[in-house]
Amino acid sequence: MRVMGELWSQLGSLMASFMFVYAIYEQFFPRHLRIYVKKYTQKFTGLMYPYIQISFSEFSGERLKRSEAYTAIRTYLSANSSQRAKRLKADVVQDSQNPLILSMDDNEEITDEFHGVKLWWSANYTLPKTQSFSFYPTSEEKRFLTLTFHKRHRDLITGSYIQHVLKEGRAIAVRNRTLKLYTNNPSNDWYGYKRSKWSHVNFEHPSRFETLAMDPKKKEEIVNDLVRFKTGKEYYAKVGKAWKRGYLLYGPPGTGKSSMIAAMANFMNYDVYDLELTAVKENTELRKLLIETSSKSIIVIEDIDCSLDLTGQRKKEKEKEKDEDEEKPKNPSKKAEEEDKKASKVTLSGLLNFIDGIWSACGGERIIIFTTNFVEKLDPALIRRGRMDKHIEMSYCGYEAFKVLAKNYLEVESHSLFPTIGRLLGETNMSPADVAENLMPKTVVNDSEICLQSLIESLEEAKKKAEEEAEKKAMEEARLKEENEKLEATGKSAEEVKENGTVH
Ligand SMILES: Nc1ncnc2c1ncn2[C@@H]1O[C@H](COP(=O)(O)OP(=O)(O)OP(=O)(O)O)[C@@H](O)[C@H]1O
Ligand SMILES: [Mg+2]
């Protein structure tokens, strides 16, 4: 004990002398001299120190994008560290197959071995230069992983080991992958505690191509297109095109546009980013959201005609509004507020840049899908080929599509009522959603005949309704035609009639 006590006191006085010398050095040595000394000390220790260090930062560039290498290495180390590291960090990921994820804690070090060579990995972080007190991690905290190895193994490590780690990390990530459905947060939440532009939940949609009711030829064409895209990395590189593809899904409500997106995601094993454009204030925000999406993903903008002021129709309406505005002056402050609201929205050119600007190539392997009920309303610039490479029409239920639904819902592949249904489907428009609703069993007993009969009744009703509406329309047209003919006969202009009342 006495020896220990003496040792401590000697160490204490040594530290005190060192601090004293350092204080004198700091005080009396000019700054440029100190830099000089530091430079040569580092050079000298570099000569003596036989190890090489490589660091991998969490974010590449100016914190724009999470580094893919960092993520892959972290995954590799998480898979290996739980046995080797002594201080582990536990993350509970609720929506994962394996909810408890263990990884090495900050400032912890683990060893790895490659072809008999030993190397060290450590997880580190640096704090921001200007510190302010906060309960939450600041956005300036920089995390990085450091790899240390002996300099005589430089070629092996930089040549094969790092490639091995990245490959393994990516493979582990694919094996553990559960599909995610992301939705964008309002920009006010981007820099708070959560610091996240996208929120996600597990994507567990049951829709598959097998359950999708549509023309089998069309379905096969889409599946082939997707396979070509997935396996086309070299092809896209060869022709100098960014590795992405745009689909425009259009058709009446309930024809399976959203179901098609889910089927695509399940088929490709891609995450889905459901982009709510109305929550995006401006074009720069749109770009930031895009950069934060990962590759192997589908970016979806549903009902594009409703999300934005992008349609020719709406532009005209806006012009009309403008004219009206000029006529009756509004409360000026309210008007300014409204103008401001309009100005802070995403524009068509912003969206075009989002789809095919240079930023959209970051990450690659991405599919962009727009859906709309009214394709004719969209600005042609938005949907031209090259942007939306493939236009897919989701139409009313045909006979082939009905057969898929009957098989899925009733497990029936043929029935004596099928021909009647086929004829009625050819004569009237009914969405697959409505057909599917009729095929759902109404009682606990799953009687396919009752369901098919109910579908026939609905189809007949729909047909009758459509015929009545067509008759009404024809009568209205005939009345208008007659009125026009009378007008021409009297030689009066339409304006005159409007002013003086109807023609008799
Ligand atoms: N082609 C289809 N194949 C199988 N089921 C379908 C199909 N179309 C619609 N359905 C059924 O109808 C429901 C609604 O379809 P979905 O949401 O995909 O339509 P939508 O075209 O996206 O409609 P909206 O234009 O209103 O968004 C789905 O949950 C699905 O059960
Ligand atoms: Mg939909």
Question: Which residues fall inside 5 Å of ion ligand 2, going by CB?
Answer: 257-258
Residue 172: its pLDDT value, please?
85
**Measured from the CB, is residue 186 less than 6 Å from ligand 1?**
no
| Cα 38 to chain centroid, rounded | 48
Hey, what amino acid is at 87? R
Higher per-residue pLDDT: 310 or 376: 376
pLDDT digits (tens, 9 = 90+) for 38-81: 777 767 666 677 888 998 988 766 555 668 888 889 888 887 76
DSSP assignment letter at 252:
S
Determine the distance separating the centroid of ligand 1 and the alpha carbon of 288, expressed in angstroms: 31
pLDDT digits (tens, 9 = 90+) for 404-413: 999 999 999 9
Per-residue pLDDT band at 322 (split at 50, 70, 90): very low
Is the confidence at residue 125, as pLDDT, over 70?
yes
Determine the distance separating the centroid of ligand 2 and the alpha carbon of 256, expressed in angstroms: 7
Partners of 51 in beta bridges: 150
Residue 124: its pLDDT value, please?
83
Is the confidence at residue 334, as pLDDT, over 70?
no
Residue 343: its pLDDT value, please?
44
- Domains in the chain: boundaries: 22-129+139-178, 181-322+341-393, 399-490
487 neighbors 497 (Cβ within 8 angstroms): yes
HEC per residue, 310-348: CEHHHHHHHHHHHHHHHHCCCCHHHHHHHHHHHHCCCCH
Asked if ipTM goes beyond 0.95, one says: yes
- Give the Cα separation of 292 and 61 in Å (integer): 13
Nearest to 200 by CA among 215, 179, 226, 173: 179
Taking the complete model, does pTM exceed 0.90, yes or no? no
- Rounded to an integer, the average pLDDT of 211-238 is 93
CA of 336: how far to CAs of 205, 331, 333, 339, 476, in Å?
A: 44, 9, 5, 5, 44
| Mean pLDDT (the chain, rounded) | 79
Determine the distance separating the centroid of ligand 2 and the alpha carbon of 382, expressed in angstroms: 19
Residues in Cβ contact with 317 at an 8 Å cutoff, skipping those fewer than 6 apart: none
**Protein residue whose Cα sits closest to atom 27 of ligand 1:** 253
pLDDT digits (tens, 9 = 90+) for 460-499: 999 999 999 999 999 999 999 988 888 887 765 555 555 5
**Measured from the CB, is residue 432 less than 6 Å from ligand 1?**
yes
- Give the Cα separation of 144 and 290 in Å (integer): 24
CA of 356: how far to CAs of 235, 264, 287, 353, 368, in Å?
A: 18, 21, 11, 5, 10
Residue 49: its pLDDT value, please?
75
**Measured from the CB, is residue 213 less than 6 Å from ligand 1?**
yes
- Rounded to an integer, the average pLDDT of 417-437 is 93
Helices (H), 147-215: 154-156, 162-175
Residue 213: its pLDDT value, please?
93
Lowest mean pLDDT among 192-196, 197-201, 463-467: 192-196
- Give the Cα separation of 60 and 82 in Å (integer): 27
Residue 314: its pLDDT value, please?
39
Hey, what amino acid is at 11? L
Residue 220: its pLDDT value, please?
95
Nearest to 389 by CA among 225, 208, 238: 225
CATH number of 181-322+341-393: 3.40.50.300
For β-strands 297-301 and 366-372, DSSP reports them as: parallel
- Give the Cα separation of 368 and 291 in Å (integer): 14
Determine the distance separating the centroid of ligand 1 and the alpha carbon of 388, expressed in angstroms: 21
Residue 202: its pLDDT value, please?
87
- Give the Cα separation of 20 and 30 in Å (integer): 17
**Protein residue whose Cα sits closest to atom 17 of ligand 1:** 258
